[in-house]
Amino acid sequence: MLISHDRRFLQNLSRTTVWLDRGVTRTLERGFSHFETWRDEIFAEEERDQQKLDKKIQQEEHWMRYGVTARRKRNVRRVDLLADLRKQKREHRGPAGSVRLAASEADASSKLVIEAKGISKSYGDRPIVADFSIRIGRGDRIGIVGANGAGKTTLLRLLTGETEPDSGRVRLGTTLDMQVLDQRRASLDPTWTLAEALTDGKGDTVTINGMNKHVIGYMKDFLFAPEQQRTPIGALSGGERGRVMLARALAKPSNLLVLDEPTNDLDLETLDLLEELLADYAGTVILVSHDRDFLDRVVTSVVMSEGDGVWAEYAGGYTDMLAQRGAGVEARRTAEGKPPKVMAPITPSTPAAARTKLSFKDKHALETLPKTIAAIDATIAGLKAKMADTALYTRDPAGFQALADALAAAEAKLAAAEEEWLRLEMMREELEG
């Protein structure tokens, strides 16, 4: 059983699809490749049912006005029927709607957007980028691809001038207006309200391509309800924070969009619309993504990690890179024919080669960490539930900040516990052969 936003991954592996929609689960006994057609058929059938319901209500309302001539008991039944029909219409929950995306575009940049010549970057003895050169022109859409820990974000920061290379140089074009979508959502203050995050705390309007739009209307474009305008950012879900970051980035004038894992937590409809927006965007796009389907639909070339700090550019999308390279991220092999290790090597106090089993301390930790992780998960859920109170920040700003701090600490503790469990589990597998 798997949950994923990666459509290619789902298409390749799934044989049955469970769709959670408006509080109802539906099951399709076919793989995800058939999902969108099936979903659209369900929506079309619902629309036909609603049209029939509207027509039935009109007929009953006409009878109420002009046809109340039958026996009283029958009339009462017809009145009850009309009330029931109206209730069905009132309580019907249609599809959630769709995000309406539009990017504020600045004046065109120079033809040369970024030029990197022989740039290198290392952390200690580990090369992240080694002697890499690229020339990015106006209108290019560059995808950066690699395994976790390969240095994708570091390369992105080198290209945008946020990080200085150890050697080589990066030249940025003139008249660049850059907007960055950070995968860590680091630029979002958890104490901001949703409305403040979208307007930067300046009034109640958002300006898109010179046109002012009320913040409530802009919120609706990104599937937020009007009553959420005073909800603190810290109380939003990961997917909602992703939509806020997207809304903020697209509202500001730009001719260079830098997107670090923009598809994280986005639903399928939002992904489709983001793809359409980027296809129509007149500026330059540089993005990091694991979503192979998204890359295929958006980018004009792929920069791929080859290992040991080496990066290579391939024309076209992810599938084109696969055809040229002969392998993707997951299929790359070392000279010995073994898959490369993506994670940092295990460095226990006693070399693994000299040990035949886990120490008592490590074994105990491996057995107890799942319970610890579950307890931290419960703590995080409790903190988020308290922060979901939309009036809390107004009523008790200090209390809300204390909860936000506690949540950040709990999430850091959870990440450390999960990393330690993974380290020990990998060690156990290695020792057991």
CA distance 223 to 266: 12
- Asked which of 37-51, 86-100, 311-325, 346-360 is least confident by mean pLDDT, the reply is 346-360
CA distance 334 to 269: 39
- For the segment(s) 352-431, the CATH number from 3.40.50.920, 3.30.70.3270, 3.40.50.2020, 1.10.287.380 is 1.10.287.380
284-288: strand order across its sheet: 178-181, 256-260, 284-288, 141-145, 301-307, 310-315
Q: Is a pLDDT exceeding 80 seen at residue 192?
A: yes
**How many CB atoms within 10 Å of residue 423?**
18
Q: Which position has the higher pLDDT, 343 or 5?
A: 5
Q: Which position has the higher pLDDT, 211 or 156?
A: 156
Residue-level pLDDT at 319: 87
Q: Which residues of 197-229 are buried (b: 16+ CB within 10 A; e: fewer)?
A: bbbeeeeebbbbeeeeeebbebbebbbbeeebb
Average pLDDT over residues 180-198: 77
Q: Which position has the higher pLDDT, 120 or 389?
A: 120
Residue-level pLDDT at 77: 64
Q: What is the mean pLDDT of the chain?
A: 79
Whether 170 and 115 have beta carbons less than 8 Å apart is answered as: yes
Same fold flag, 112-325 and 352-431: no
Average pLDDT over residues 210-223: 82
Average pLDDT over residues 99-128: 78
Residue-level pLDDT at 409: 85
Of the pLDDT bands very low, low, confident and very high (cuts 50, 70, 90), residue 129 is very high
Give Cβ neighbours of residue 334 (< 8 Å, ≥ 6 apart): 340
Average pLDDT over residues 394-406: 83
Of the pLDDT bands very low, low, confident and very high (cuts 50, 70, 90), residue 64 is low
CA distance 179 to 186: 14
- Asked which of 33-47, 156-170, 214-228, 323-337 is least confident by mean pLDDT, the reply is 323-337
Average pLDDT over residues 380-393: 82
Residue-level pLDDT at 117: 93
Q: Distance between the two ends of the chain, CA-based, in angstroms?
A: 27
For the segment 229-276, what is each residue's pLDDT rounded down to a tens digit?
888 888 887 778 878 887 887 777 888 989 888 877 677 777 777 887
DSSP category for residue 348: -
- Asked which of 120-134, 261-275, 298-312, 409-423 is least confident by mean pLDDT, the reply is 261-275
Give the DSSP H/E element, type plus range, for residue 216. Answer: helix 215-221
Residue-level pLDDT at 89: 62
The domain defined by 112-325 carries CATH number 3.40.50.300:
yes
Of the pLDDT bands very low, low, confident and very high (cuts 50, 70, 90), residue 43 is confident
Average pLDDT over residues 403-427: 82
Quote the percentage of the chain above a pLDDT of 90: 15
For the segment 278-308, what is each residue's pLDDT rounded down to a tens digit?
877 888 999 998 888 888 888 989 999 998 8
Domain positions in the chain: 7-91, 112-325, 352-431
Residue-level pLDDT at 71: 46
Strand partners, 114: 136, 172
Of the pLDDT bands very low, low, confident and very high (cuts 50, 70, 90), residue 346 is very low
Coil/strand/helix, residue 229: coil
Residue-level pLDDT at 430: 72
For 158, the token pair is: 């080198």
Residue-level pLDDT at 236: 84
Of the pLDDT bands very low, low, confident and very high (cuts 50, 70, 90), residue 4 is confident
Q: Among all chains, which residue has been given the structure tokens 């619309």?
A: 273
Residue-level pLDDT at 95: 60
Residue-level pLDDT at 336: 40
